[in-house]
Amino acid sequence: MNRTKQIIIVAIILSLVLAYVLIPLLKSDSSNEDLDKSFMARFSFEKNLATQIGNVIPLTFKVNNDDILKVELFFQDSLIDTWKKPKGELKHQLNSTNFNLGSYQINLKTTLKNGDDFNDVRLLRILSDISPVPLKARIIKSYPHNVSHFTQGLEFDNGILFEGTGDPNKLGATKIMQTNLQNGSILKEIGLNGDYFGEGITILGNKLYQLTYTEGKCFVYDKNSLQMIKDFSYNGEGWGICNDGKNLIVSNGTEYLTFRNPETFQTTKTIQVYDQVGPRVRINELEYVDGKIYANVWMLDMILVIDPTTGKVLNEIDCSEITKVGKGSGDVLNGIAYNTANKKFYLTGKYWANIYEVEFE
Ligand SMILES: [Ca+2]
């Protein structure tokens, strides 16, 4: 290779390297985001917002362009304010009194005269206005529980204790049982094969509903015969389930509780479980008693008492003394049942040797 050729090759390589470095820089400069934003209305606060429920949040927005046709404020999908050909600073008093707790999107949408639009989307967290009142669970009496039961659902119906189990080792251990509380004997049972990992159970009318962990099926049984009637499909995970006499209420391991129509399994509403700091996640087995939801929290020796209207955590029930006595070589605290006949609560855990009648004080 002669010297001229070498120079040409080096020059080509250098220009390629320069082009590779320079072109993206030029590009990003010509589409500079700050330039675009000056044409739009934006929230004047940085990042996201959090407030206690009941507060009125003064929102302000900056507008500094003549090309804006309108600015609209959305809370989730609902339009809550509109400004036509706005100038200067805009204001909106966002009243959170009638909101439920949780994390929601607020979106400031700018539409230009040429039809282009721009969305400034932020998160608004509505927190509880109370600290949960602490309670403590105390053992009144103990009953036998089969240590092979990976307890996922526990509920009384007409004095009979129903238990639903899961199957972490895919051995076909998912069962629904009618049991005798006094001696732990099984009165009737039905099982699923190892393809299904049973989760929470609840009884509404003559039907028993059983969730599955990741299989997206809710199985429906006749509560007396335990014969399967039908199944529903749903998205995501199934953890705990209870009912308020009208709706099924379902947890999925997050802070969300989904209310579902028992005839169709369609969602009728969702709430988010929140305290004064933020969301309470890993909500597991549930029990609905006198207008409140009692919830195990996976991996915690604690039961939350939740307001089903707002999602507010009303009480934290410390169950550490129950776990200390009951866990043994078993797994976590899980299983809450309330017997309406004697107005008593019963707790157990996965693979625990006992079920405990308890008092909360
Ligand atoms: Ca229960």
Distance between CA atoms of residues 230 and 184, nearest Å = 29
Written as tens digits, the pLDDT of the chain (361 aa) is 566 667 666 666 666 555 555 444 444 433 344 445 566 888 888 888 999 999 999 999 888 788 899 999 999 999 999 999 998 889 999 999 988 999 999 999 999 999 999 999 999 999 999 999 999 999 999 999 999 999 999 999 999 999 999 999 999 999 999 999 999 999 999 999 999 999 999 999 999 999 999 999 999 999 999 999 999 999 999 999 999 999 999 999 999 999 999 999 999 999 999 999 999 999 999 999 999 999 999 999 999 999 999 999 999 999 999 999 999 999 999 999 999 999 999 999 999 999 999 999 9
CA of 319 to the centre of ligand 1 (A): 16
pLDDT per residue over 23-40, tens digit each? 444 444 333 444 455 668
The overall longest dimension of the chain from CA atoms, in Å, is 102
Rounded to a whole number of angstroms, the CA Rg of the chain reads 28
Burial class (CB in 10 A: 0-12, 13-18, 19+), 197: buried
CA of 242 to the centre of ligand 1 (A): 6
Distance between CA atoms of residues 238 and 210, nearest Å = 9
CA of 201 to the centre of ligand 1 (A): 7
CA of 22 to the centre of ligand 1 (A): 64
pLDDT per residue over 226-256, tens digit each? 999 999 999 999 999 999 999 999 999 999 9
What pLDDT is attached to residue 14? 63
Cβ-contact 249, 268 below 8 angstroms: no
CA of 349 to the centre of ligand 1 (A): 12
CA of 287 to the centre of ligand 1 (A): 4
CA of 344 to the centre of ligand 1 (A): 13
Q: Read off the pTM.
A: 0.86
**In the structure encoding, which two tokens stand for residue 245, read together?**
């006499």
CA of 293 to the centre of ligand 1 (A): 10
Sequence letter at residue 329: S
Cβ-contact 49, 126 below 8 angstroms: no
CA of 204 to the centre of ligand 1 (A): 12
CA of 278 to the centre of ligand 1 (A): 25
What pLDDT is attached to residue 10? 66
Cβ neighbours around 247 below 10 Å, total: 19
CA of 200 to the centre of ligand 1 (A): 7
